[in-house]
Amino acid sequence: MHNRSDQFSKNLLRDGLSLVSAAQTEVEVLAATQKIDVYSVPDPAREAERAGMGLLGELAVEPSLFEPFHRTPSLRLVRQCLRKQLTWHHELERRARAAAGSTGLDEDAAAPPQPAVDFPALVIIGPGRPETVLDAYRCEPVQPGVYHAVPGLVMRVVVLAELPRTRATLVLRLLGSGRLLREALADLAALPDDAWEKSIAKPLLVHFRLASQEPTIDKEDDVSAEIRAWFEEYERKLRAEERKQGRAEEAARAVLTALRVRGIAVPDVARERILAEKDPEALERWHERAIVATSLAEVLDELS
pLDDT in tens, 185-214: 889 888 998 899 988 888 777 766 633 333
Q: At residue 261, what is the residue type?
A: V
H helix or E strand, kind and range, residue 34: none
| Same domain, residue pair 57 and 14 | no
Report the C-alpha gap between 25 and 2 in whole angstroms.
Answer: 17
62, 88: one domain:
yes
**pLDDT for 149-158, tens place per residue?**
998 899 999 9
What domain range includes position 26? Answer: 1-30
**What's the chain's length in residues?**
304
Question: What is the full DSSP assignment across 36-77?
Answer: -SEEE---GGGHHHHHTSHHHHHHTSS-EEEEE-SSPPPHHH
| pTM exceeds 0.85, yes or no | no
Mean pLDDT of 163-188: 90
* Domain end call among 157, 175, 193: 175
Q: Which residues pair with 140 in a beta bridge?
A: 148
84 and 68 in a common domain: yes
Answer left, alpha or beta for residue 104, where phi above 0 means left and psi between -120 and 50 means alpha: left
Asked whether residue 4 falls in the same domain as residue 104, the answer is no
Asked if residue 226 belongs to a domain, the reply is no
Give the residue-averaged pLDDT of 123-147.
96
* 268 and 170 both lie in a single domain: no
Give the whole-number percent of the chain exceeding pLDDT 90.
30
d(CA 163, CA 143) in angstroms, rounded, equals 9
Distance of CA 127 to the CA centre of its chain: 18
Query: Is the domain of 20 the same as that of 93?
Result: no
Number of domains in the chain: 3
| Same-domain pairing of 137 and 270 | no
Quick one: pLDDT at residue 54?
A: 93
pLDDT of res. 230? 65
- d(C-alpha 67, C-alpha 160), whole Å: 13
Helices (H), the chain: 2-17, 47-51, 54-59, 75-100, 131-136, 170-173, 179-190, 196-211, 225-261, 268-276, 280-292
Q: Is residue 3 part of a domain?
A: yes
Say yes or no: 283 and 156 in one domain: no
| Tens-digit pLDDT profile for residues 251-275 | 888 889 888 888 888 888 888 888 8
| Residues 188/174, Cβ–Cβ less than 8 Å | yes
On whether both 76 and 139 belong to a single domain, the answer is yes
